[in-house]
Amino acid sequence: MAIEIRQATVLDLPEIMNLETASFAKDAWPEETFKSELAAKHTYYILALEDNLVVGYAGLSKLPGSDQADIQTIAVREDKRGLGIGKKLMDTLTLQATELGAKEIFLEVRADNSIAQKLYKLFGFKQIGTRKKYYQPDGVDAFIMKTDMRLKTNKEPVVLGIETSCDETGVGIVRGNQVLANIISSSMDKHAIFGGVVPEIAARAHLEALTPVLDEALEKANLTLDDIDAIAVTNGPGLAGALMVGVGAAKALAVATGKPIYAVNHLVGHVGADILDRGELKTPTIALLVSGGHTSLLVVRDLLNDVELLGETIDDAAGEAFDKVARVLGLSYPGGPEIDRVAKDGNPNAIRFPRGLTLPKDMEKHRYDFSFSGLKTAVARHVELAESKGEEFSIADVAASFREAVVDVLIKKAVSACKEFDVPRLLLGGGVVANARLREVAKEQCEANGIELRIPPFSLCTDNGAMIAAIGAQLIMAGRAPSTLNFSAESTLPVTTVQS
Ligand code: KG4
Ligand code: ZN
């Protein structure tokens, strides 16, 4: 679903009236009223279109000389609700109101329309009064709501982002789309003897690292907490105990400083990293996020409103597979860089290891999902068998063949998503992006298929606070209200929840 927003004209009246009468059965505006609204100089009406069909509309009125605007109406076709179209319409209206110089926006909403009220609250609207029995014929009250744009006209907010979802404690500071500081402390060394991230150790390390990392970020940016406009924090997905440390710290900072707080989705943060690299995110884009904690394939049509999970790993994450196979081969942790190093001298076609979830029957149910545990077992078997027979085997060949199997599946599925969804862009994120072969095959395959490949610098690919701050800044610039303090750490937060 690709939604386009454009300004409405009188020519759109028939389609608008269809939707108006379907949406507001009892109190639809008469056609004449709508016509004069569309034609008026002081109004701004917009449409949401899907395949050139009107699926929503909204309108704003702003008299010249006044610094107040009114949202006149908003409607989304019934079968298209809950897909972020209302948010997109509101994004455009509030931006237009700001550009027209409005400092406050007012609206009226039916007291029984809790869905619309929820949308307005997302944009900072608060109820300031009630008009009794305003909507006729059924005598329902109208709530009068207002939002203050003065807080949101900040075009380049300074946001401090906190990231603790796995084993990196990250604090980043951005101004708008620009990184001012990006400090990371990793507890990787502490997990090395276990060959993988131990959640309790990660959480404890976050506790110890957070204050020094925060201080260092402020120092690097040459700012004090007073200079920060808002705080953003990852509240999921990730390790529950690790997330809790960041969420607790961010809330404490918000309360102590009185600054607004934004709870941000970690995976969306990885996508936002590209904004910091090139100043914008080109959409739509397919995003392949591969790290020690996740392997996710997303289609991002709009960073704040329309992110969809196409598939993810059903067992081990890609980085985890590298770490586990490295252990089988007697290499150290983290395994990714080690396997990359050893594989350089190996033959990638020496052993044909299985490609998880690529058989026709798997492709029906798991077209964009991944599985690496079968591959890991196959490598272990191969090594055991050779050892039990007392045969020599080439670690380089095993490493190269394993790496080839992982990369093959990752890039094939990502490229096929680009084709199927007709998206000419692929963005990579996560620590596994460091993999030399992954980068090579991604480049080859994208070039061969006319796909633009985006790989942000490595410091923005691995888990970091700057990417979380970037999403916070985007939310503020889109006029979104801060999160309320009752959000919590959610280890399985879905990617559709960009802000909690
Ligand atoms: O994004 P990241 O730093 O954070 C966590 O997941 O915590 O990713 C770390 C993962 C590890 O599993 C590591 O083995 C993997 O990324 N990795 C690599 C390479 N460098 C790091 N995997 C494959 N090839 C690499 N060169
Ligand atoms: Zn991550």
pLDDT for 325 equals 97
pLDDT reading at 338 higher than 90? yes
pLDDT confidence bin for 40, thresholds 50/70/90: very high
The domain limits of the chain are: 3-148, 154-500
Question: Which residue, by CA, sits nearest to atom 6 of ligand 1?
Answer: 292
Mean of pLDDT values over 277-293: 94
pTM: 0.80
Give the rounded percent of residues in the chain with a pLDDT score beyond 70: 99
Interval 234-279: pLDDT, tens: 999 999 999 999 999 999 999 999 999 999 999 999 999 999 998 9
For the chain, give percent helix, strand, coil, nearest 5.
45, 25, 30
Mean of pLDDT values over 465-473: 98
Interval 107-150: pLDDT, tens: 999 999 998 999 998 888 989 999 999 988 889 999 999 998 76
SS3 label, residue 286: strand
Question: 167: Cβ below 6 Å to ligand 1?
Answer: yes
Find, among 168, 174, 244, 216, the residue nearest to 463 by Cα: 168
Interval 139-168: pLDDT, tens: 999 999 999 876 566 678 999 999 999 999
Question: 170: Cβ below 6 Å to ligand 1?
Answer: no
Nearest-atom number in ligand 1 for the CA of 461 is 1
Q: Which CA distances in Å does 380 have to 193, 345, 395?
A: 19, 20, 12
Interval 399-450: pLDDT, tens: 999 999 999 999 999 999 999 999 999 999 999 999 999 999 999 999 999 9
pLDDT for 26 equals 79
Comparing 292-296, 423-427, 469-473, which segment has the lowest mean pLDDT?
292-296
Cα 307 off chain centre by: 7
Mean of pLDDT values over 383-400: 95
For the residues of 23-37, what is the DSSP string, one character each? H-TTTPPPHHHHHHH
Q: Which residues pair with 315 in a beta bridge?
A: none
Q: Helices 395-420 and 335-343: crossing angle, nearest 10°?
A: 110
Question: 462: Cβ below 6 Å to ligand 1?
Answer: yes
Question: 260: Cβ below 6 Å to ligand 1?
Answer: no
The contacts of residue 88 (CB under 8 Å, 6+ apart) are 3, 5, 48, 302, 305, 306
User: Regarding the domain delimited by 154-500, which CATH topology (the fold level of the hierarchy) does it fall under?
Assistant: Nucleotidyltransferase; domain 5 (3.30.420)
Q: How many A from CA of 390 to the centre of ligand 1? A: 32
Q: CA torsion angle for 190, 194, 200, 204 (degrees, to 10)?
A: -10
Mean of pLDDT values over 212-222: 96
Cα 62 off chain centre by: 33
**Please, what is the average pLDDT of the chain?**
94
pLDDT for 137 equals 83
pLDDT for 122 equals 87
pLDDT reading at 227 higher than 80? yes
Interval 344-377: pLDDT, tens: 999 999 999 999 999 999 999 999 999 999 999 9
pLDDT reading at 195 higher than 90? no
pLDDT for 152 equals 62
Mean of pLDDT values over 307-326: 96
Cα angle, residue 249 at apex, residues 242 and 168 outer, rounded to 5°: 40
Interval 481-490: pLDDT, tens: 899 999 999 9
Mutate to test the pocket of ligand 1, among 291, 402, 463 (most ligand atoms within 8 A of CB): 291
Asked if residues 276 and 466 have their Cβ atoms less than 8 Å apart, the reply is yes
Question: 463: Cβ below 6 Å to ligand 1?
Answer: yes
Q: How many A from CA of 166 to the centre of ligand 1? A: 12
| CA pair distance 368, 413, nearest whole angstrom | 6
Question: 431: Cβ below 6 Å to ligand 1?
Answer: yes
pLDDT for 175 equals 94
pLDDT for 150 equals 64
Question: 432: Cβ below 6 Å to ligand 1?
Answer: yes
Q: How many A from CA of 460 to the centre of ligand 2? A: 10
Q: Which CA distances in Å does 210 have to 245, 339, 351?
A: 9, 31, 45
154-500 shares the fold of 3-148:
no
pLDDT confidence bin for 54, thresholds 50/70/90: very high
Question: Which residue, by CA, sits nearest to atom 18 of ligand 1?
Answer: 336
pLDDT for 77 equals 93
What's the CATH number of domain 3-148, 3.40.630.30, 3.90.1150.10, 3.40.50.1980, 3.40.50.720?
Answer: 3.40.630.30
pLDDT for 151 equals 58
Find, among 409, 404, 412, 386, the residue nearest to 349 by Cα: 404
Mutate to test the pocket of ligand 1, among 322, 433, 459 (most ligand atoms within 8 A of CB): 322
- The Cβ of residue 41 has, within 10 Å, a number of other Cβ atoms equal to 6
Mutate to test the pocket of ligand 1, among 197, 432, 440, 461 (most ligand atoms within 8 A of CB): 432
pLDDT for 1 equals 62
Asked if residues 170 and 213 have their Cβ atoms less than 8 Å apart, the reply is yes
- The Cβ of residue 58 has, within 10 Å, a number of other Cβ atoms equal to 24
Question: 293: Cβ below 6 Å to ligand 1?
Answer: yes
pLDDT for 236 equals 95
Q: Which CA distances in Å does 361 have to 296, 316, 378, 410?
A: 21, 21, 20, 18
